[in-house]
Structure 1
Amino acid sequence: MDVVTVGPEEIRSAVSMSAAIDAVRTGFLALRRGEFEMPTRTALRDGAFLVMSTHHRPTASAMIKTLSLNFTDRVPAIVGTVVWSELGHGRHLVADAAEVTRIRTGAIVGVATDLLAPAEAKTCTLIGAGGQAPDQVRAVHAVRSLIELRVVDHSLDRAGTLAKALGAELGIDTVVAVADADEAVRDVDIVCCATTSTTPLFSATSLTENAHVNAIGAFRPTMRELPDELLAEATVVIDEREAILEEAGEIIHALGTGAITEDDLVELGDALAEGVANRAGRTVFKSVGVAMQDWAIASLLAQTFLDRVQ
């Protein structure tokens, strides 16, 4: 058995954000067609340990990701491995799961933003300046050329540092750190939420009429980033129904209060294939992450690195 190990720097150099977005978009359409065998992920110790797996039937390839998560007293907060294998040969790829997770989470936001945000969108607010945050902006910028970025974080210094770095990297003209989330989301086209909050981050009334909101932080039933009022009035697109109903705290809460029903939720694969019917002015994309996304990035790594193994 040949094992190829790929570290964070190799992953980042091998997978561009535009390629990641294309791979994840293609993957969601394939998921809709039933090409993946994908169990709901296993969460242990209330989400401190996660195991995700999927099998792509047409290529007889499989991906298994294991993670440990500690957002309170460990840096990095996410540690784990992604393992890629194929039935046709004994070559395996083992990749750093934290880097794959950052890229694939950014990529799905790029897919959703490209689908749902106004074509003329140019301004973005990022709430949260942790490990997942930079790729949210990189992905949005890949599908909408941003001219202004506002970053909100409980540490204004950290928000300012990230805003300045992303502005320099991506060539965004105006970057600013903002202390108040409601102030930060006013008059912007796109909002990205990447926090571990247990309460809504802002009021729905603070948003513009046609704002698009991405929410990727809350991945347990006890976590919430979005208010019921926003979900009740917006067009809500989700990554995968079964995972969302089990894990997405803001969706679970809104269903419990009657603010929305399950019929209000549109899966991303359906939205990509069919468009979004009865689309409201504001749009929301909610993701908890599914194994197919990791498979999509791992497939790009396999094409790059396993071809070297004879």
Structure 2
Amino acid sequence: MTTTTVTEREIREAVTMKEAIDAVRDGFIDLAGGMFEMPTRIALNDGQFLVMATRHRPTSSAMIKTLSVNFRRTPAITGIVVWSEAGRPDQLVADAGPVTALRTGAVVGVATDLLAAPQADRLTLIGAGGQAPDQVRAVHAVRPLRRLTVVDTDPRRARTLLQTLETELAGVDLDTATDADHAVSEADIVCCATPATQPLFQASALPARVHVNAIGAFRPTMRELPDDLLADSRVVIDELDAVLQESGEIIHALEAGAITQDSLAELGHALTGPPVPHGGRTVFKTVGVATQDWAVARLLADKFLH
């Protein structure tokens, strides 16, 4: 038996955002088809420690990820991803930080490609932390951007993010802002990537036609979106059991009577169902599921295990 360890640099060099988006899209289609055995993740100390696992039945492969999450340190997310297959003894161990950022970006790319207007090219990103760069990369991969506005409570962090991305976003109009309501009012796509516990903006501030991705809140005590936005939008989620247990936005809106479970569409089923009509407001809410990590880990296994 051999164990291959993959570093952050190797992950970034081996997997492009387009590859990750395609792999995660295929993973959610398989999830909708019942091809994964996937328990809801274990959360300890209100999400400070997370354990996620899944098995892909057709390939008899499995992924287990353990995370430590602390937004007061850098990096906020640390841990490992372990890939194994029943058919061979070799396994792969990867740095969970970049895998998590890549797969979270990738699922936003999948959802944005499905739900955002074809001509959408103005992105407002709220939050300039560790997940932010891959949110931008993923949206840009499926909807080439004309304008990017980054909103953060720390303007220096927003400017640093833009400096990090400026080479990749050559020709894109780059700006920062501190007023979220104003920044989202001129957006075609909004990405929320914060540890917020209260809504980041008012629903009334959004255009009538806009797509919103929310990835930051992954515990019932966290919340980025207002109830009336969810009530007024087509809402797609990653997986029903996961959001009912972990998404503060979905739990709060259900308890307030703003939405019903029947109004929530899982991403895998939306991908395989009738074409989604473009128009009005759409929301994609994800807390993150193990299928995404499996999809990226499979790409790494294909490249590093021989």
Percent identity for Structure 1 against Structure 2 = 64
Deviations 1:237-285 (A, max 9, x none): 0000000000000110000000000011000011000036687610000
Distance in 2 of aligned mates of 1:113 and 1:5: 32
CA contact (8 A) 1:126 1:152 kept: yes
1:14 aligned partner, one-letter code: A
Q: How does 1:1-310 map to 2 (within 5 A)?
A: 1-72=1-72, 74-275=73-274, 281-307=280-306
Distance 1:303-1:165 versus aligned 2 partners, 3 A rule: same
Name the Cα RMSD after superposition.
1.1
SS in 1 for 2:287: coil
Q: Deviations over 1:10-57 (max 9, x none)?
A: 000000000000000000000111110000000001100000000001
Q: Secondary structure at the match of 2:123?
A: strand
Partner amino acid for 1:41?
R
Alpha-carbon distance in structure 2 between the residues aligned to 1:122 and 1:280: 15
1:150–1:163 Cα contact (<8 Å) kept: no
| Mapped contact 1:235–1:280 kept (Cα < 8 A) | no
SS of equivalent residue, structure 2 residue 130: coil
Deviation, structure 1 residue 76: 1.0
Unaligned runs of 5+ in 1: none
User: How many angstroms apart in 1 are the aligned matches of 2:253 and 2:278?
Assistant: 19
Q: Distance in 2 between matches of 1:105 and 1:277?
A: 22
Question: Is this contact kept in 1: 2:115–2:278, CA < 8 A?
Answer: no
Counterpart Cα distance in 1 of 2:256 and 2:77? 32
Cα distance in 2 between the residues matched to 1:186 and 1:172: 22
State the TM-score, normalizing by the size of structure 1.
0.97
CA contact (8 A) 1:235 1:279 kept: no
Extract unaligned runs of 5+ from structure 2. Answer: none
Scaled by the length of structure 2, the TM-score of the pair is 0.98
Contact 1:82 1:97 in 2 (8 A): yes
Query: Deviation digits for residues 101-160 of structure 1, max 9, x if unmatched?
Result: 000000000000000000000100000000001100000000001010000111011111
How many Å separate the matches in 2 of 1:78 and 1:100? 10
- 1:148 maps to amino acid: R
The DSSP-based 3-state class of the residue aligned with 1:91 is strand
Contact 1:53 1:65 in 2 (8 A): yes
Higher mean displacement: 249-258 or 270-279: 270-279
CA distance in 2: counterparts of 1:89 and 1:122, whole angstroms: 45
Rounded Cα–Cα distance in structure 1 between residues aligned with 2:82 and 2:167: 34
Q: Given residue 51 of structure 1, which amino acid in structure 2 is its aligned partner?
A: V
1:170: how far off?
Answer: 2.2
Going from structure 1 to structure 2, the CA distance change for 1:172 and 1:255 (only over 3 Å counts) comes to farther
Amino acid of the structure 2 residue aligned with 1:231: L
8 Å Cα contact 2:54/2:62 also seen in 1: yes
**Aligned positions, number:** 306
TM-superposed deviation, 1:161: 1.7
